[in-house]
Chain A
Amino acid sequence: MGVSMIPGYLDAGPRRLFLLRVCPQAAPATRRVLVVPPFGEEMNKCRRLLALLARALAREGCEVWLPDLSGTGDSDGGFETARWSEWQDDLVAVDAEASAACPQLPVSYLAVRSGALLLAQIHTRLAAFPAATVVLWQPVLEGARYLAQFLRLRVMASRLAGQDESQQQLMQLLSDGHSVEVAGYGLHPALAFGLHEAKVGAAEFGAPARLTVLEFKNGEGAQASVPVQNLVRDCLARGTAARAAVVNCDQFWATQEIAAPEAALAASLAALSGHADLDAS
């Protein structure tokens, strides 16, 4: 079945967002999928795989919405204008629009990396969430640790340039209201602290119909990370159909060269299209 890739814009309040819709051509969609993007450079690295996945999903009858959050991609504003709370509102607005455009369709959410934090924080504002299939790609479950890893890039870069900077100093700058530049990204305090405070576990994820966590590691027999094992265990205890699987492939959100591993595509297609269960290997 042919697919259409339709770029466009939608208004999330005062912010104009770029959005890519990928739809089946020959017949109306039977399912809709919303992608919750990752942070910063990781989104650039995932773009190709996400586009390939969206096309594959559309060929199976899914309509896929890929928004650029404000200050990122082709949406209005530079990264320095990005705010964590606005990202939450952006996603809610996009989901509402998707729901209006595709009424009554079963819904899947694919949250990529730190997108998991955002999805968990907004799920009570998403009408479709309780009945939804949720897939997380290598989720970030603790924003503070992710922020520290991001700041570490600058600390390392400074050290290599012979300067002494510490995470503590950078956090102090942010606390004092200054934006901090890391790897070319201007990080505003409101974005940094929103990320810093975000921490999600089973309670924060509520109870979607199905939760699949995919992690991606090179090499056979890799285990799911400890935080993901804990999340799945806790979700199961709360009655959510949850599972984790590790896919043997490159960590595509971080590789130097853009990677779009076939194994990642196949595992994601199985988990998102609402078809037969993914083998938890």
Chain B
Amino acid sequence: MTSDDVCRILIEVLGIDTAKMQLREDTRLLGSLPEFDSMAVVSVLTAIEDHFGIGIDDDEIDGAIFETVGTLSAFVAAKLA
């Protein structure tokens, strides 16, 4: 499932301790999660591109995509469709 893969990528790239924190659809990312800074954005984009075999252009990227786990998963799912 796309959202499972996205969660796994977020956990790995951001170094999230899943014993302390669960990622759900409504978990807020940009602006809420301290680990989610601009370098994290670059790393997450790279990991998503590599895992799914897709390319994400600069102009597709805006803050709204990274609002929650759900919005990010939806963005990726739309790219795959």
Question: Please, how many residues of chain A have a CB less than 8 angstroms from a CB on the other chain?
Answer: 25
Q: Return chain A residues, CB-CB under 8 Å to B43.
A: 254
Q: Indicate if the CB atoms of B55 and A145 lie closer than 8 Å.
A: yes
Q: Indicate if the CB atoms of A226 and B55 lie closer than 8 Å.
A: no
For the complex of A and B, list the 3 residue pairs with the smallest distance between their C-beta atoms, beginning with the closest. A227-B53, A226-B53, A225-B51
Q: Which single member of A145, A155, A230 contacts B58 (CB below 8 Å)?
A: A155
Q: Indicate if the CB atoms of A152 and B45 lie closer than 8 Å.
A: yes
A152 to B58, CA, bound (A): 8
Does A123 sit within 8 A of B, measured CB to CB? Answer: no
The prevalent SS among residues of A at the interface is helix
Q: Indicate if the CB atoms of B53 and A152 lie closer than 8 Å.
A: no
Q: Return chain B residues, CB-CB under 8 Å to A217.
A: 8, 12
Q: Which single member of A149, A155, A160, A167 contacts B46 (CB below 8 Å)?
A: A149
Q: Return chain B residues, CB-CB under 8 Å to A167.
A: 57-58
Known: A148-B55, A217-B8. 8 other contacts (CB 8 A): A152-B42, A152-B46, A155-B58, A156-B38, A156-B39, A159-B38, A219-B12, A222-B8
Given the contacts A145-B49, A149-B46, A223 and B5 also touching, CB distance less than 8 Å? yes
Does B50 sit within 8 A of A, measured CB to CB? Answer: yes
Report the interface size class on chain B. 20 to 34
Provide 23 A-B residue pairs closer than 8 Å at the C-beta atoms, listed in order of the A residue: A145-B49, A145-B55, A148-B55, A152-B42, A152-B46, A155-B58, A156-B38, A156-B39, A156-B41, A156-B42, A166-B59, A167-B58, A168-B58, A217-B8, A218-B11, A218-B12, A219-B12, A225-B50, A225-B53, A226-B52, A227-B50, A230-B53, A251-B12
Q: Return chain B residues, CB-CB under 8 Å to A153.
A: 42
A148 to B49, CA, bound (A): 11
Q: Kindly report which residue of chain B lies nearest to residue A220, judged by CB atoms.
A: B8
Q: Return chain A residues, CB-CB under 8 Å to B38.
A: 156, 159-160
A152 to B46, CA, bound (A): 9
A119 to B53, CA, bound (A): 20
Q: Which of B6-58 contact A (CB under 8 A)?
A: 8, 11-12, 38-39, 41-43, 45-46, 49-53, 55, 57-58
A142 to B46, CA, bound (A): 13
